[in-house]
Structure 1
Amino acid sequence: MTPVAAAWARIEDWMRRYTPGSLTVLAPPATRDAIDAAALEVGLPFPAELVESLRRHDGLTEWANVLPEAPPLSAAGIVEQYRIRMEIAPDVDGFTPYTAGAEPWWHERWLPFGDADGDLQVIDLRPGPGHGRVGFAPHDNPAHFDDAWPSLAAYLNAVADALDTGGAVGAWHAYVRAGGGLWWDLDGATALNGEPLRPAPTLDP
């Protein structure tokens, strides 16, 4: 089993035990043809780890806060969000860094992985030591890789570790909503929309 598939298996196992409703929103696998077609439309080869993730779950069947940084996109959603950024960037000088040493608003070699209301979690496909890292491209600020995960596998394994043994993924901690669904929030959160949040249980020893 690949590192990405193993991480997803651990996440699924935790959900199966503690938040089964969240497990049902994980979409079925994308087909190889759908992934190949999406890569062709974007014009970039999808890295192996992204393909492995899509072959596990083609995004979600409905919006849910099941991953800490952003809900994962489907293959079609990756194409849609990539096109949107590529269409907007020329109009806002989005390919040019605002200051020396900063990231631009967008780069044609970033692939969206997750979408949090227009703020995109991206995989950096530029050549060099940062190739494959996972960072963030907000809709209203330059992108940043300050706290980048070195790979998609590293990010998903951090999520699995946080669920299995406790701890955080960056600033985000796992909770269980009153209705039984998984929710990620900042440390010390106690309520969501007036309903209680409780810290997510870890796996039984």
Structure 2
Amino acid sequence: MSLTTDLAKLEQWLRQRSPTTWASLRPPATLDAIDSTAHQIGVRILPDLKRLWRWHDGSEGALVAGVPLQPGHYLLGVNGALVEWHGRTDVAGYSGDSRSWSPQWLPITSDGAGNHFVVDHRPGPELGSVFVADLQNGPMRHRGWPSLADLVRDLCDALTHGRPVDGHLPHITEEGRLAWTFSPA
């Protein structure tokens, strides 16, 4: 399946089973906003990330009531990604040590504590991969996927089949929000 197909499945699942989370999705990002972000950070945004942001430009209330793309990590839109990118690149400073951060990693989620799932925009074999960039521990590629399409496919599979993601099971709160509950194996 394609990323576009899986995003449509995700939207349908959210609309039917988690209406409050679905309602938090923003309209699609404009190509101008995506291009502006690419220009500001100095990378060419990969096609799958453009597709994600053209699907929806993140969600409202990102860290309170947004879309938890992964347990504890909420979907960022174009502006949110840029703010988080600046927070890691400018404020924390980039020393050139890619063991902790690379300015070519673009956040797609945030946990509100400085940790992100990022899309790797560096040339080479890991181009397009998605993984956790942990503030304390650096890149955690064992918590990742070869591509954004793989992440969304696994998310759809977890939601439709009630499978765990990173030790957490999806559930819907009384308010109609998607949430993740730790489920020890």
**TM-score scaled by structure 2?**
0.88
CA distance in 1, matches of 2:88, 2:175: 35
Where does the alignment leave 5 or more consecutive residues of structure 2 unmatched? Answer: none
List aligned pairs for 1:33-48, cutoff 5 A.
33-48=32-47
RMSD: 1.8
Runs of 4+ with >6 A deviation: none
Structure exhibiting the larger radius of gyration computed from Cα positions: 1
Whether the 8 Å CA contact 1:89–1:105 is kept in 2: the answer is no
List aligned pairs for 1:49-198, cutoff 5 A.
49-63=48-62, 64-69=66-71, 70-90=73-93, 94-96=95-97, 104-117=99-112, 118-187=114-183
CA drift at 1:61: 1.5
Aligned to 2:5: 6
CA distance in 2, matches of 1:27, 1:51: 15
**How many equivalent pairs are there?**
179
Where does the alignment leave 5 or more consecutive residues of structure 1 unmatched? Answer: 97-102, 189-205
Whether the 8 Å CA contact 1:113–1:122 is kept in 2: the answer is yes
Whether the 8 Å CA contact 2:41–2:103 is kept in 1: the answer is no
Which letter does structure 1 place at the counterpart of 2:27? P
Whether the 8 Å CA contact 1:30–1:55 is kept in 2: the answer is yes
CA distance in 1, matches of 2:172, 2:108: 24
Which letter does structure 2 place at the counterpart of 1:20? P
CA distance in 1, matches of 2:50, 2:171: 28
Report the 3-state secondary structure (helix = DSSP H, G, I; strand = E; otherwise coil) of the residue aligned with 2:175. coil
Deviation per residue, 1:149-203 (Å, 9 max, x gap): 1100100111111111221223232011122211023216xxxxxxxxxxxxxxx
CA distance in 1, matches of 2:38, 2:146: 22
CA drift at 1:94: 4.9
Q: Percent identity?
A: 30
Which letter does structure 2 place at the counterpart of 1:157? R
Whether the 8 Å CA contact 1:89–1:95 is kept in 2: the answer is no
CA distance in 1, matches of 2:7, 2:180: 17
Whether the 8 Å CA contact 1:94–1:104 is kept in 2: the answer is no
